[in-house]
Amino acid sequence: MSQRNVYLLILIAVVVALAIYIVLPNSPGINALGIHKKFTTRLGLDLVGGVQALLEADLPPDAVIEPGAMDAATSVVENRVNGLGLTEAVVQKAGDRRIVVELPGETDPEKALETIQQTGLLELVDFSGIPQAEAVALVGTRINTDFGLSSAQATQPITGTATVTQTFPTVITGADLRSVNVTTNPQSGQYEVAFTLSPKGKNVFADFTAKHVGDVLAIVIDKEVISVPTINQPIPDGQGVINGNFTAEEANNLAVQLRYGSLPIPLKVIEVRTIGPTLGIESLQKSLLAGAIGFSIVILFMLLYYRLPGLIANIAIIMFAVITFAIFRYIPVTLTLPGIAGFLLSTGSALDANILIFERMKEELRGGKTLSQSVDLGWKRAWPSIRDSNIATLITCGILFWFGSTYGATIVKGFSITLFLGVIVSLFIAIVVTRVLMDLVVANFKSKDYPKWFGI
């Protein structure tokens, strides 16, 4: 055996061993060399059921979005999703102005979406000069505040009678919050949201409350007046309570919004897709069955038609499947129905490489070359077409991936990723595995009965 083949054989053994380790159902993961990784098969929403929502910046189409603002919004959304206790949720930026939110296992998305989508901007607004009764009348209405306005627009004198069109001065915003908790009022038993201000906010708040004892300080969320408490005494400790007749869920959702800050960009839901769990399980079982049947037929065909090389191809294909699946679990790639189809198609690609090699090899054998010459020539002659044809497929995958990720079209993306990875692995299989295995077999092959063993 040549030195080169020994090295390659070791490489194959290592790769396959690693792959098997990753693929094992109860794989303990890697926990050494500073790498901590668990391996899981991540199934897409179409297989487990769940909700996919596409959020878009709620701004005019020609509005320029500051770089970084969408990233900030994405992380706020992600924090909120996690804060709502939705496990295994995926939040990703898609294109310049969209965010994809995937909530596996969820089937009634409306409440969650509402919480995720709202800006969640808390403002403590100066209502001084407005009588308590008038302030109470404003609860539940939307008002204008000077937060976010330039100073020229902002300073309007406050008149004795409040109107909805008036612009009120904002004292403190949610950016100055340090912590937020859901509590119940000891007297009424109602749910409330208690907050503590940051040191900076605390000073502003202490100053303001000291100067405005007896005035109303409105609590406003997303420009809607929630409550209008009167300042009874200066508040030096920076603590406050939002009381708005909340249910437990509402209070919790509000706390989640406030805790992770307001969205830098208003968002709206432009697409919601729900897959019921029943359909998901059905699809998973059926596609697994289909895959198993297809795979078995192909394995059988290869063995019957190509004989010995067919057996080698089958070994290579099984390695291909294990390695590809291991990569899916390692990254991890979310497996969707089209993703499984992409994987099966790449199996076709891997077989194509083997078939191209074997057909060339048989031609050379028929032409009277020796076995080892045939293997060598078959491989060399088939290589350009394997290379060029697979590059063409990789190009298509790239375009599909670009298309899929810009639109949050995860099904298209999933398909292109699995096909892409499959084609890459199939090239490795063709270049290394089939080659070395063939060399190995041929070197130890004694029989001269080529028709029997090679089906020529």
63 is a site residue for other proteins (CB under 8 A): no
- Assess contact for 109 and 52: CB atoms under 8 A: no
If the CB atoms of residues 30 and 272 are measured against other proteins, the closer one turns out to be 272
391 is a site residue for other proteins (CB under 8 A): yes
**Interface of this chain with other proteins, residues 69 to 108, rule: CB under 8 A:** 107-108
Distance CA 454, CA 110 (A): 62
If the CB atoms of residues 215 and 363 are measured against other proteins, the closer one turns out to be 363
Distance CA 225, CA 244 (A): 9
380 is a site residue for other proteins (CB under 8 A): no
Distance CA 362, CA 175 (A): 73
278 is a site residue for other proteins (CB under 8 A): yes
- Assess contact for 113 and 106: CB atoms under 8 A: no
**Interface of this chain with other proteins, residues 142 to 181, rule: CB under 8 A:** none
Provide the residue count of the chain: 456
389 is a site residue for other proteins (CB under 8 A): yes
If the CB atoms of residues 93 and 381 are measured against other proteins, the closer one turns out to be 381
If the CB atoms of residues 123 and 376 are measured against other proteins, the closer one turns out to be 376
Q: Which of 350, 329, 377 is nearest to 432 (CA)?
A: 350
| DSSP code of residue 169 | P
Please identify which residue in 229, 266, 291, 332 interacts with other proteins, judged by CB under 8 A.
291
106: which 2 tokens?
């969820």
437 is a site residue for other proteins (CB under 8 A): no
**Interface of this chain with other proteins, residues 333 to 362, rule: CB under 8 A:** 337-338, 341, 344-345, 347-349, 351-352, 355-356, 359
Distance CA 216, CA 128 (A): 6
210 is a site residue for other proteins (CB under 8 A): no
Q: Which string of DSSP letters, residue by residue, matches 259-286?
A: HT---SS-EEEEEEEEE-HHHHHHHHHH
What is the closest distance, in whole angstroms, from the C-beta atom of residue 398 to other proteins in the complex? 9
318 is a site residue for other proteins (CB under 8 A): no
What is the pairing mode between strands 239-246 and 35-37? unpaired
What's the N-to-C CA distance of the chain in angstroms? Answer: 26
272 is a site residue for other proteins (CB under 8 A): yes
**Interface of this chain with other proteins, residues 231 to 260, rule: CB under 8 A:** none
301 is a site residue for other proteins (CB under 8 A): yes
Greatest Cα-to-Cα distance within the chain, rounded to the nearest angstrom? 108
Distance CA 377, CA 250 (A): 72
415 is a site residue for other proteins (CB under 8 A): yes
If the CB atoms of residues 209 and 349 are measured against other proteins, the closer one turns out to be 349
366 is a site residue for other proteins (CB under 8 A): no
Mutual orientation of helices 371-406 and 410-428 as an angle, nearest 10°? 160
426 is a site residue for other proteins (CB under 8 A): no
What is the closest distance, in whole angstroms, from the C-beta atom of residue 392 to other proteins in the complex? 4
Per DSSP, helices labelled H in 331-429 are 337-366, 371-406, 410-428
Distance CA 371, CA 364 (A): 9
402 is a site residue for other proteins (CB under 8 A): yes
297 is a site residue for other proteins (CB under 8 A): yes
Residue 414 to residues 112, 325, 403, 407, 428, Cα–Cα distance (Å)? 25, 14, 11, 13, 21
316 is a site residue for other proteins (CB under 8 A): no
If the CB atoms of residues 94 and 130 are measured against other proteins, the closer one turns out to be 94
If the CB atoms of residues 213 and 304 are measured against other proteins, the closer one turns out to be 304
What is the closest distance, in whole angstroms, from the C-beta atom of residue 137 to other proteins in the complex? 26
- Assess contact for 272 and 211: CB atoms under 8 A: no
- Assess contact for 121 and 174: CB atoms under 8 A: yes
Interacting residues with other proteins (CB under 8 A): 46, 54, 56, 107-108, 110, 269-276, 278-279, 282-283, 286-287, 289-291, 293-295, 297-298, 301-302, 305, 337-338, 341, 344-345, 347-349, 351-352, 355-356, 359, 363, 381, 384-385, 388-393, 395-397, 399-400, 402-403, 406-407, 409, 411-412, 415, 419
